[in-house]
Amino acid sequence: MAMKLEIIGKELIKPASPMPNHLRTLQLSLSDFCSPPIYVIGIFFYDTEDHIISKEIVSLRLKKSLSEILTRFYPLAGRVEGVSINCNDEGAVFMEARTDSLLSEFLRNPVRESFEQVVPSDISKPLETSPLLNVTVIYFRSGGLAIAVSISHKVFDASSLSWFVNMWATTARGYGDSLNPPEFAETTIFPPADLSMIFRPPKKEDSDSKRVCISWQRFFFDAFKIKELKRRAASETVQNPTRVEVVTTFIWKCATKAMRSNSIPRRPSFMRQAMDIRRKSSATYISENMFGNLVLPLAVVEGPESEMDITEVVAKLRKKKEEVSEKIREILQLDRSSPELHEKVKELRAKLLSDITLDTRSHPITSWCGFPFYEADFGWGRPVWFATGRHIVFEMGFTCITDTKDGQGIEAWVTLPEQDMLVFEHDPELLAVATPNPSVLV
């Protein structure tokens, strides 16, 4: 049964200090502007039973520290206007709710419908009227709380989300003065946004557009099963595949089987991933806590008759990643002030997107593994669970994978058209490796 929420408060949190005039406008980059009009979502669950702390104290601490951190992360209090952000201090939405459910009950049986209540999913509203940051705090009965953070993908990617929440948590603990000021990448790497490149959903007349993604599921891969997948995927070319490589490849294979079972004729399939530039560069002006959409698309394509052997696909994926990584390193050897930098990044992005043809069936997969979501301590300990929920972005499907708390397992949040999900979630090959929506408590 889904938990029932009672809204007990909603307000706009404004920065503690007004924004100086010279910082009122922040230019969006091509990467920012071409990102889909969705929210990057993280939900942090905390067990506070061992902490003598009232809802009033929690609320005051979170609001005060959010106001303080918004002074540093000033774009999040603004609104998108065309190809820039008007940093007008309008504020971030802060909502509080309570439920009669126990946190232990929710973690024992994390009902999917409960996630729908705590995060915004409407992408139809105009960007100019949408807040860039939404926070929902949920108080469970007898202790325990969840903090759901939703940030517009137009300004932040997953890496930025993880670092923002950790810097907010550090501020809540009283150590905000020790933090280095964030740097907003925006047009540091990518050229300024062009209105002609706005994200557009598939056209209504496209036959595939009728297959709306309305079904999603969470799957758990434990460390033992991942080790088994790595053994199956190992080859002379890739002797030690990573957790992310084998899990994403395996999910793509199973998703493609499900899609092909409901599609005639068979079509090529491609897996699209986002490659984080921060992790691929030694350039001194690139750092992990540089904020913005610092990603490039990477696609691997399989033909309509391919059996998608996991060994071969992992080898193909690794080769593609190495080629793109090398190209990124070459480009970022240029000085950040070089007029060639923007042009070469733009050319590389266009080339990578050209690998995707119109006759293919896509399944984008994004990895949030390795980001410090489980380090976010607001003063009552680290999260007992980090979740992300559904991501209805592309009508053909989408998967987001995250680390488990111990950093050894992986949770996959898979969205597919309903008819494909019915096949996918009953695939014997998948169920031999992954567990659908298990209890978080062990």
pLDDT (tens digit per residue) in 308-361: 999 999 999 999 999 999 998 888 888 888 889 999 998 998 888 876 665 677
CB neighbour list of residue 2: distance below 8 Å, 6 or more residues apart: 111, 113, 114, 116, 117
pLDDT (tens digit per residue) in 250-309: 999 999 999 888 876 778 888 989 888 887 766 667 777 788 898 998 889 888 888 899
Rounded average pLDDT over 89-117: 89
Higher pLDDT among residues 287 and 94, named by residue: 94
Higher pLDDT among residues 210 and 361, named by residue: 361
Rounded average pLDDT over 149-163: 91
Strand partners, 305: none
Question: Where are the extended beta strands (E) located within 58-104?
Answer: 79-81, 84-86, 92-102
Q: Where are the alpha helices (DSSP H) in 127-214?
A: 158-172
pLDDT (tens digit per residue) in 3-44: 888 999 999 999 999 988 888 999 999 889 888 888 889 999
* Cis, peptide link before residue 265, omega less than 30° from 0: yes
Q: Which residues are catalytic?
A: 153, 377
For tokens 């929902």, name the residue: 136
pLDDT at 204 over 50: no
Quote the pLDDT of residue 332: 85
pLDDT at 201 over 60: no
Domain residue ranges of the chain, discontinuous segments joined by + = 6-196, 204-371+389-436
Quote the pLDDT of residue 396: 67
Domain 6-196, architecture per CATH: 2-Layer Sandwich (3.30)
Q: How far is CA 228 from CA 255, 315, 412, in A?
A: 20, 17, 17
CATH superfamily of 204-371+389-436: Chloramphenicol acetyltransferase-like domain (3.30.559.10)
Q: What is the DSSP letter of 361?
A: E
Quote the pLDDT of residue 379: 93
- As a whole number, the mean pLDDT across the chain is 87
Quote the pLDDT of residue 281: 66
6-196 and 204-371+389-436 agree in CATH topology: yes
pLDDT band at 394; cut points 50, 70, 90? low
pLDDT band at 196; cut points 50, 70, 90? low
Quote the pLDDT of residue 210: 47
Rounded average pLDDT over 183-192: 85
**Cβ atoms of residues 123 and 38 within 8 Å:** yes
Report the share of the chain in percent with pLDDT over 70. 88
